[in-house]
Structure 1
Amino acid sequence: GDELTACGECPSCRQVIFHSHPDLFRVGLPEGKSELPIEVFVGSAEKRGREGLCHDLSLSAMQGGYRIAVIDDADKMNASSANALLKTLEEPGPGAILILIATDSDQVITTIRSRCQQVNFTRLSDEDLHQILTRINMVEHEGELDSKLLEEAIRRADGSVSKARTALERLQSGESHELHKVTQLLGRQKIMSADLAMVFDEVMSQAGSDTNSQREAALLIIETSLQYFHQSLTTEAGMSQLDQVHSDCYLDAMDRCFEASRQIDRKISVPACLDQFCHDLEMLLRPTWNSAGQ
């Protein structure tokens, strides 16, 4: 109902928007890390137990009411982090509410899952993402978003606000130009793996140095390649004379794109995955070299 809708204007709402509310805590995967370290929860070795999220939640609320912690990337906790958080879950401080966000809940240890009420969220609609991103931009930048960049960011987001924001930031930094080079190269008559690797490296250089940013950039390269092959296959299917060689090669290339995406999701080394991807695309598309122009 309306009583659960934030007004966005009162002092508490403004504090939440600008990440300055004294009783709201947000933690997540540190940049450059693949695990949520124990220091996030109990502090550094020198101040163990005297700082960190668990210590903050043990204190009384500064503005009365509740102290709320949002733990993003909860499925990235290592064993030490999970055990530290477990103690707080078993004996939370007065008025403490913990919200754990995980992409894969199966990766959260059973003893933590059993103490949580699990809520599954579906992907947000494009309309919802459009409204949310527009609202965030008004608060943080007070300017208008480029409608084409916004549309492309939403298309890449797969219903996720965080993915949409990341995509939008990259598009605004000029990443779309680098991805266009990928499409142009795939449209050549003869595709060499060395050329692919060079263009892929240009895209990867635009991403951050942390592991998550590198994986997201690699998935974007693979998705761009997949879209090209799908569009090429659709074009072939609409021709009066079907080129079976091209069609078969595009199907094989699409299968290889799906496989590369699964490899990235399984945390296989990004450079190794992309290097093999380049090599395999050249091999899969070589039959089209001989049939080109026939």
Structure 2
Amino acid sequence: MAAKKASTTSPKAAKTTRAIAVDAPPLKSWSDLIGHDSLITGLTAAIRQGRLGGSLLFVGPNGVGKTSAAILLTQTLLCERSTARDMAPCGECPSCVQVRVGTHPDFIQVRKPDDKTLIPLELLIGPVDARLQEGFCHDVHLRPMQAQRKVAILHDADFLNEEGANCLLKTLEEPPANALIILIGSSEQRQLPTIRSRCQVLRFQTPPGEAGRALLRKQLDHYQSQHEDESLPTMSDDALDAAIELSAGDMHVAARLARGGGEQIREALWNQLAAPVPDPTAIVRLINGHLDSISKDVPKRRAALRDVFSIAVQHYRRQLRSDASSGKYDPATHRRLDRTLRTFREIDRSANLGTLVDCYASDLTLAATGDRGAIC
């Protein structure tokens, strides 16, 4: 019965799960994956010893190599000129090229659309008129068309709603024998425990020192290759380190800060936040002015707002460390950090960014007294 179903697919189903644009620096070999030597060693051993599970969960800060590693692992498994045990995909055979551009018939991908706050259910199990006949969970069970196995990557796993996560869980509970499923998220805590327990978890970290700077330079070079009309400033090691610190290790944020004058917005925002009682009007004006200078496009403004709140989080964390070293403790600082972190988590769920910023700025003032009445 399963074989008969696996012998057919539909163009519509393929369209929903393949040939998506993934913005990640391409890797030619595993040696290009910066700062993750122990992870590569573990993957290599698992493949050569036949211990690679059917479901993997890649977690870690954005931009540290999770997506690039997932694409390279797919090439490693599907390459026509080398075996997976070699851990050396050629990058030139038809399969490697098709994986790189997202058109391999046995390579499935789903990501959150830019204009959505969550992964739509139809991308997982098909539209209402074709439930369980299309989508990620359906396509991964189809028989491979070209290779010996299928690889399915679910990007943005942090953005599954409860119904979508439960649909995925059913697939993980009964995984196809000839497929590898890779989930990519920012942290284990943002995944359902039942999903975590059914995956091998690979933890990616922001590499320290020169490796971290090299990784950020690679992100900037990748951006430059796609935007040749823009000229990026030469970044000193200190400037790169500052961008990484401000971003809390998120290389996507660090790259945007490095490109978009992160020093200026950091200095201006920190000056506002350092006031005993922050001026909400000035903070709203500063943040909205920064967003306006970036773009009128909502997804880009949302990304820029994440950068702003990364800067705010770093400010309050530095303040708490400074207070601790001098034996002081200001509960208002702790409340403001808590409010900043909660607002950061709400950015991708909020339909109205302006209201989010207004509420946040007002609540910073109330933090001095502990009054939470106006918190949105």
TM-score w.r.t. length of structure 2: 0.55
Q: Distance in 1 between matches of 2:88 and 2:219?
A: 17
Gap change, CA 1:186 and 1:92, over 3 Å in 2 = closer
Aligned to 2:284: 197
Aligned to 1:292: none
- Spell out, residue by residue over 1:162-218, the C-alpha distance to the aligned partner (whole angstroms, 9 max, x if none): x32344246535565544543565689996332222112223443763596376144
> Aligned residue pairs: how many?
268
Task: In structure 1, give the amino acid aligned to 2:133.
Answer: R
Aligned to 1:287: none
1:136-285 to structure 2, matched below 5 A, reads: 136-137=222-223, 140=226, 146-148=233-235, 151=240, 153-159=243-249, 163-169=250-256, 171-173=258-260, 177-183=264-270, 192-205=279-292, 206=294, 209-210=298-299, 213=303, 216-223=306-313, 225-226=315-316, 254-265=333-344, 267=346, 270-271=356-357, 273-280=359-366
Q: Which has the higher helix share?
A: 1
Aligned to 1:95: 178
Aligned to 1:44: 127
* Structure 1 unaligned spans of 5+: 238-243, 285-294
Task: In structure 2, give the amino acid aligned to 1:114.
Answer: S
Q: Distance in 2 between matches of 1:86 and 1:216?
A: 29
Q: Compute the displacement of 1:41 (Å).
A: 0.6
In 1, are the aligned partners of 2:232 and 2:259 still within 8 Å (CA)? no
In 2, are the aligned partners of 1:36 and 1:78 still within 8 Å (CA)? yes
Task: In structure 2, give the amino acid aligned to 1:100.
Answer: L
Aligned to 1:108: 191
Q: Distance in 1 between matches of 2:170 and 2:279?
A: 55
In 2, are the aligned partners of 1:204 and 1:217 still within 8 Å (CA)? no
Q: Compute the displacement of 1:226 (Å).
A: 4.2
147-156 or 70-79: which moved more?
A: 147-156
In 1, are the aligned partners of 2:216 and 2:254 still within 8 Å (CA)? no
Q: Compute the displacement of 1:64 (Å).
A: 0.9
**SS across alignment from 1:92:** coil
Q: Distance in 2 between matches of 1:230 and 1:109?
A: 31
Q: Distance in 1 between matches of 2:247 and 2:90?
A: 26
Task: In structure 2, give the amino acid aligned to 1:82.
Answer: A
In 2, are the aligned partners of 1:178 and 1:202 still within 8 Å (CA)? no
CA-based RMSD: 4.4
Q: Compute the displacement of 1:254 (Å).
A: 4.8
Q: Distance in 1 between matches of 2:298 and 2:224?
A: 28
In 2, are the aligned partners of 1:222 and 1:257 still within 8 Å (CA)? no
1:3-152 to structure 2, matched below 5 A, reads: 3-6=86-89, 8=91, 10-93=93-176, 95-125=178-208, 126-127=212-213, 129-130=215-216, 132-133=218-219, 136-137=222-223, 140=226, 146-148=233-235, 151=240
**SS across alignment from 1:97:** strand
Gap change, CA 1:263 and 1:193, over 3 Å in 2 = same
Gap change, CA 1:170 and 1:40, over 3 Å in 2 = farther
**SS across alignment from 1:274:** helix
Q: Compute the displacement of 1:98 (Å).
A: 0.5
Q: Distance in 1 between matches of 2:281 and 2:148?
A: 60
**SS across alignment from 2:362:** helix
In 1, are the aligned partners of 2:272 and 2:279 still within 8 Å (CA)? no
Q: Distance in 2 between matches of 1:218 and 1:189?
A: 20
Q: Compute the displacement of 1:101 (Å).
A: 2.4
**SS across alignment from 1:29:** coil
> Equivalent pairs: percent with the same residue?
26
Gap change, CA 1:175 and 1:118, over 3 Å in 2 = closer
Q: Distance in 2 between matches of 1:184 and 1:39?
A: 46
65-74 or 10-19: which moved more?
A: 10-19
Gap change, CA 1:212 and 1:113, over 3 Å in 2 = farther
In 2, are the aligned partners of 1:26 and 1:72 still within 8 Å (CA)? yes
Q: Compute the displacement of 1:43 (Å).
A: 1.7
Structure whose alpha-carbon radius of gyration is higher: 1
Q: Distance in 1 between matches of 2:97 and 2:256?
A: 23
**SS across alignment from 1:262:** helix
Aligned to 2:16: none
In 1, are the aligned partners of 2:320 and 2:334 still within 8 Å (CA)? no
In 1, are the aligned partners of 2:265 and 2:290 still within 8 Å (CA)? yes
TM-score w.r.t. length of structure 1: 0.67
